[in-house]
Homo-oligomer: A and B are copies of this chain.
Amino acid sequence: MEDRTRQEQASPEVRARVRADFERQGLMRHLGARLTHIGPGSAHIVLPGRPEVTQQHGYFHAGATSAVADSAGGCAALTLFPEGTSVLSVEYKINLLAPAVGDHVEAVGTVLRAGRTLTVCRLEVFAVRDGERSLVVSGQQTLIRVGERPGR
């Protein structure tokens, strides 16, 4: 799948740091998710469709789409934090706009507001089928910045 527009990349240092964080997430590996873009204040994660990520009608399970959406928001927030800090999700809310059917879904996390303590992200998930891209999840997430050894 092609990005609709050319996306700005984060610096190599930031990309390496966010990628390392992503790769420590056992769930992302288990689901088969790939981190496909790291920009300043944004991140994209692609999740291929397969029986392991479905709900009872064969659509992508809301738990799977929201897992990649949550991680995309976390990675997006992390791009704006200094080295040696980390991030935890405080809460999120998603609307499932339409059944998620397709070859894969792409989650896009975008920072709406970065604060000293709290960061708020927009979460979107697009389903891609035969090259057609449609918005299937829209949501919002609050994250808290923590040290490397978190504990709110």
Establish whether residues A51 and B26, one from each chain, have CB atoms under 8 Å apart when the complex forms.
yes
Chain B: which residue is nearest A51 at the CB level? B26
CB contact list, A55-110 vs B, under 8 A: 55-57, 61-64, 66-68, 70-71, 74, 86, 88-99
Interface residues on A, range: 35 or more
Nearest-neighbour CB distance to chain B for A20, whole angstroms, equals 9
Establish whether residues B70 and A27, one from each chain, have CB atoms under 8 Å apart when the complex forms.
no
Chain B residues whose CB sits within 8 angstroms of the CB of A89 once the complex forms: 62, 96
Neighbour of A112 across the interface among B29, B97, B142, CB < 8 A: B97
Nearest-neighbour CB distance to chain B for A139, whole angstroms, equals 7
22 example contacts (A-B, Cβ-Cβ < 8 A) are as follows A24-B56, A25-B61, A26-B51, A27-B61, A28-B61, A61-B67, A62-B67, A62-B70, A63-B68, A64-B67, A89-B96, A90-B142, A91-B93, A91-B95, A92-B93, A93-B94, A93-B140, A99-B152, A115-B152, A117-B144, A138-B140, A142-B142
